[in-house]
Structure formats: structure tokens, C-alpha cells
A and B are shown apart, each in its own frame.
Chain A
């Protein structure tokens, strides 16, 4: 059992949980993920590690309440426990001195990106960060990012804050040079940014978040086509060359079980959505 130490609501439906998991905390590195199972009948879902604290023995992850499992996770409180957490999983990010690095994050993936930005800065890089959300009210980690980045730009889909959309990146990349780009966020955002960075020949790593079951190389549901070859996101990734990933296939594979996910979510809400259900 993994006890919840801290719970925060960062924006509407975006929640943070810090859980007690000392062995995982001791081993976690930026770019890795965990697989959790909320309760005995639960599914296995992957979440990217947003932070870890070796001294406290805790691991932090942030999620959007979109489906049954994330809604159920969001209904838990400090002191409650999650039955299973396996990790750290996946290949850690490459952290070294690249020079000038462009880090782009969207939605809840801004949180794990923060971990990378911190590590890249400590490795001696100059880091320019771009964080984005659908609208101003959903933007997270702005102050935290400002603390660790050399410069921060803000983007929203609706233009309620900062730049509207990613077109400004072209101007930025014309004006400044970068040796590497790190992109973490929704597939469409990673695809857009990768296309732009490709035209400027900036090596770009994206973090894919396909469906996973075991997360340890066993099932192959997380297969992603990278440069024409099938890779498993769980053991070969989750970071891949953004100029090689087949994003169209990735989106389709992420949506494979949408009808079932909707049914599961409705079923759970009918049963009281965690408020009245006996567990």
C-alpha cells in the first residue's frame, strides 16, 4: 500500500498526489514513469513522475481527471492509500550539457517537464521554457518554471494568456539557436512543435503516453512506430525522436478503447463516483 501524503488541486480537474514510496523515490530519474492500480478491481495506468524526494521518500504525479481511474484517484484524500505502484519504469531522459535547450510542455505534462528543466539547468544548460494550456485557468507550474528556467514563454489555445498557438515559435527559432528541444504534452502539440523544430534542424525528444497495461515490455499495446520501426514505449521509451514518431498512428492507438473508457467512467459515476461506494 502506498499512502497519500499530499493532495492538491492545481486547476479544474488537475490534481497532484504525493505518495509514500521510498524505494521508488530513491531510484527515480527525470523522464521515467510509474504504473499504478488504485484498488483491487482497478486497471494499470501509467503516469509520468513529476517529482521525487529521496529524503521524504515520496513520489509525486499529476493527472487530469478524464477517465474512471483518474476520477477515482482524484477522489482519494491525504491518508488514503493506493494498492499498487510499480516503478520507476522506462528509460530515463538523457541529461547532459547540450548548450541551449528549448523545453516545451503542455497540460499536465508541464509537471514532469519541470523535473527535466531542473536537471538540465543543473547540468549547465541554458533553458528556455514554453508552457501551454487550453486556457489561462488550466495553466499550471508557471511560477515553478520561472524559478528554474532562464526564460519562460506562455502559450494558450484560446489566447487568454501569452501567445495564441505555437506560431510564435518559428520567430523565436529564427532569432535564437538551440541545440536540443524537449517536448512533453498532448500528441497534437508534440507533433506541431516537432514539425517546427525539424525545419530548424533541432534534435527533438518527445515523450509519448500511449495506452499501457503491464508497462514492462510484456503486452506490446504501447507500440509506437519510430522511423518506420515498431518500438515499445514502456521499455524502449517513453522518449523518442520527435522527427521520427508516427503521430497519426499514436493518436489512433491512444483512442482504441474510448467507448469502453466512457462506459467505465459512467458506470463508476452511477455507483456514486467514490462518494458512497463501499470499498
Chain B
């Protein structure tokens, strides 16, 4: 798939991957073997009939192809861009055994963009059931659950705490990987299906879950995500210029601080930026920092390249753009200038030992190997934990020791009747598509629950 050249794209926030043309999409679709027992479908958390939509592309029936995708997945323009297909559908593809698997994600993106550009999507209204469901959080899990529930004829209100819908898609993933107009269009599609979205509504404070159930709704789906940033708990961590990845990305993505002062929210990026961590959020942060004008951007990670949790494609993009990987390195302390801004970061070299319970080799510090790095911005991207507000304000809702909500994997059913949950709030930080899969399963379970309540 064509991409913007690294030397150009590292100075702009436009989308890096440019997408297939119709001819390119058809050529890719023609490679598909149309297996009688397709393996790819088993790798898809939302069960898209992959060979069917690829066949329709091959036949140039693009409108039909997108309909086929949307039968199973309400947010294809998003999934086509941010799903880790290489670990899911494409990993199962027979063609991958002999060479390159079919680029299913890029084909999904192609049909979704095709429809978005043409504006052809048709919506058929369902017979109303008279049941009302509240969806808490307008991220991937919530939007998917809402779409499925309205398709089944239920009335759905989505409550979103921020001022725009999309959750991590709008505040977390940068414009150059997922343009915000795409997120807005997908959220708009869910609205056109019939769901309504109330922004600025922090559930737990504005209304509690029990209040929603008593006053207005027959069931509730909680998809509030893993929104709380983790810090390193190191000395000097509260110095200026040290951001959580969440703060940095919220400023840049949701608040558009790259366009400051036209947009009011400021961001300050120095010349030497260190991003701590090596997941997708770390790659997003590093590449955003580069685009905001940093001279040198480091990824500082305590293990080696093989253990990096980010998608291979994102690591490759970061490398192409000139991000420097300082591996087997861990920060230990931050030092500031007289104004309270970070100036140096003390690090220690690490070595890998035995394999731990996560299946990765455990890092340990090399004694006496401390050294100083000159930095003026540090972005901490070492993971996020569940937002605790709902758990703190909902009596009887069982949680785990990690603060996630206890819910059945296949249904999202929680310890409270009529309350379902899915996505990162249940699993801890995971992927967009897994959250969507959970939203979909919960919607089915809620549908059954509502039918049994008649």
C-alpha cells in the first residue's frame, strides 16, 4: 500500500498510509484463494465473512462488499486502519504460509473509505422493542455495542464523558494513523443507525449506574476503557516536561495542540525527547513528538527489540522516520533545572535473564551501569489502568484486584443484574478490535436478557 515518504511525513500530521486505489484493491482481492473452509474468519474477533467481501471486491461490487463487512462490523474504516491483522485474520491466511498473506485489513479499509467518500450507506430501521439501553463510553466497545443494539430494535443512549465521541480513537490514536474525520464519520454512522450520544456525561458523577437503571433504562453496558495513566514512581517524575502518554496524546489529538495558538490547548516539546515504553502508544507518542518539531526522539525500553509489544508495522514506521531505539535501558531518576523542567534522565543498562510468567525474558539491571541522558521532554508510555469512577460509585459491582470489572467473557455479564461490561475496563489495556468483539458479544447477551424480561 502506498505511504507518505518518511522525510515528508515526519513533518506533518496527515495520514501516513494512503490506501488502495480501486485497481490495487481488485488486484489484491484476486490473490484470495476463496478457501472452502476459510481460516481467516476464525481469526476475526467480530466474525466478518472475509472471503465473501473479498470476492465482491474482485467482482468490483464495492457497495455490496461494504454491506457484507458492515453486517458484522459497524466500524470498518477504523478496524481497517488500527487492527493488528497480522496477529488475527492474516495470521490464519493460507497464502501467508507460502509468502504474503492477503492484506485483509487494507481491503477492509478500502471498502469503508469507498463508501465514506461516496456517502452511499443505507440504513434499514428495525421494529422498536420498547426497551432502552444505556451505553457508558463512546469508545470502540461502546460504539459497537450501541450499533448492534439499535440494529436489534432497542433504544440506545451512549453517555460519553469527554466532549467528543470516540474514546481512545479520538484522544489516543494520532491523526496520522487514524484521521479524526474517520472517527467522527463512524460515530455519526452509529447515530444514523438510531443511537443518540450524550457528551460531557461522566457516569458515576452525573448519573450513577443504579440511577440509570431505576429511572431510564432496562440495561446498561459499561465500556469505560483503560484510561488512567501509569507512572514510573521515580524521583523527579513530577518535573515539568514529563508527560504521561495520555496527557501528551490528549493534548495533541483531542485538543489539537499541534495547531496552537489557533487551538487554545498548548503543548511544549523540546529538542530531545525520550519516550519510555515500546507499545503502540509509545510509538504514537514518539512519532507525534517528531512531528511537533523535536530534533531527536528516543524510545527507551527495558527489554530488547524482540519483546517490544508494538505492532511490527508501527515499529517499522517509527524506524523509517528516524526514531532512535535505546533498548535494554531503564530510567531510574529525573533531574530538573531551576524552573522545575526536566533536564537529565538517569538510566541503567539492563540484561535479559530467564523467561518470566508473561513468556518474555525478565530484564534485570546491570550493576554500576548508570548513565545520564540529556532530555528536555519525557513521555511515559508504560501502560494504562482502568478508570475507577464507576467501580467507586456502583455498589455491588464486583471488581478484580487490578481494578477491572468482573464480567463473563462470552456475555459481558457482571455481578449486577442488567449490567454488562466489555473492552479494556474488563480485560485491562488491549486492542480496539478486542473491545469491539466484547461490545458485540455483550449486545447479544443484553438482547437475550431484555427478551427474558418481558
Name which residue of chain A comes closest to B233, CB basis. A230
Which of B229, B264, B268, B388 sits near A43, CB closer than 8 Å? B264
In Å, the complex CA distance between A268 and B237 comes to: 33
* 0 or 1 for each of A251-274: is its CB under 8 Å from B? (1 = yes): 011001100110110011000000
Residue in chain B with minimal CB distance to A68:
B264
Give the residue of A89, A220, A249, A263 whose beta carbon is less than 8 angstroms from that of B202.
A89
Q: A41-B263, A253-B238 are in contact. Are A220 and B206 (CB under 8 A)?
A: no
Tell whether B95 is near chain A: CB-to-CB under 8 Å: no
Q: Which chain B residues (214-253) contact chain A, with CB distance < 8 Å?
A: 227-229, 231, 233, 237-238, 240, 243-244, 246-247, 250-251
Q: Which interface class (under 10, 10 to 19, 20 to 34, 35 or more) fits B?
A: 35 or more
In the complex, B356 has a CB within 8 A of chain A: no
> Can you name 23 A-B pairs with beta carbons within 8 Å?
A23-B207, A41-B256, A43-B255, A44-B265, A69-B264, A84-B200, A86-B163, A86-B200, A89-B202, A216-B162, A216-B387, A217-B389, A218-B250, A218-B387, A219-B229, A219-B250, A221-B247, A249-B340, A252-B339, A253-B240, A256-B340, A257-B266, A264-B266
B251 touches A213 (CB 8 A): yes
Interface residue range, chain A: 35 or more
Rounded to whole Å, the gap between the CB of B150 and the closest CB of chain A is: 23
Interface of chain A, main secondary structure: mixed
Could you tell me if B264 and A264 are in contact, using CB atoms closer than 8 angstroms?
Answer: yes
Contact (Cβ within 8 A) B199 A252: no
A binding-site residues for B, Cβ under 8 Å: 23-24, 27, 37, 41-44, 68-69, 83-89, 213-214, 216-221, 223, 225, 230, 235, 249, 252-253, 256-257, 260-261, 263-264, 267-268
The answer to whether A213 and B388 touch across the interface, beta carbons within 8 angstroms, is no
When distances are taken between beta carbons in the complex, the residues of chain B under 8 Å from A23 are 201, 206-207
The 3 closest A-B pairs by CB, nearest first: A260-B266, A219-B247, A43-B264
Which residues of chain B in 254-271 are interfacial with respect to chain A, using CB atoms and an 8 Å cutoff?
Answer: 255-256, 260-266, 268
Given known A27-B206, A252-B340, A253-B238, contact A217–B228 (CB-CB < 8 A) = yes
Chain A contacts for B229, CB-based, 8 A: 218-220
The reply to whether B238 and A85 form a contact with Cβ atoms under 8 Å apart is: no
Q: How far is the CB of A102 from chain B (nearest CB, A)?
A: 29
Is B205 close to A, CB under 8 A?
A: yes
Evaluate whether A37 and B238 lie within 8 angstroms (CB atoms) in the complex, with A44-B265, A220-B247 already known.
no
A61–chain B nearest beta-carbon distance, Å: 15
Bound-complex Cα distance A161 to B263 (A): 41
**C-alpha spacing A44/B389, complex, angstroms:** 20
Identity of the chain B residue whose Cβ is nearest the Cβ of A43 in the assembled complex: B264
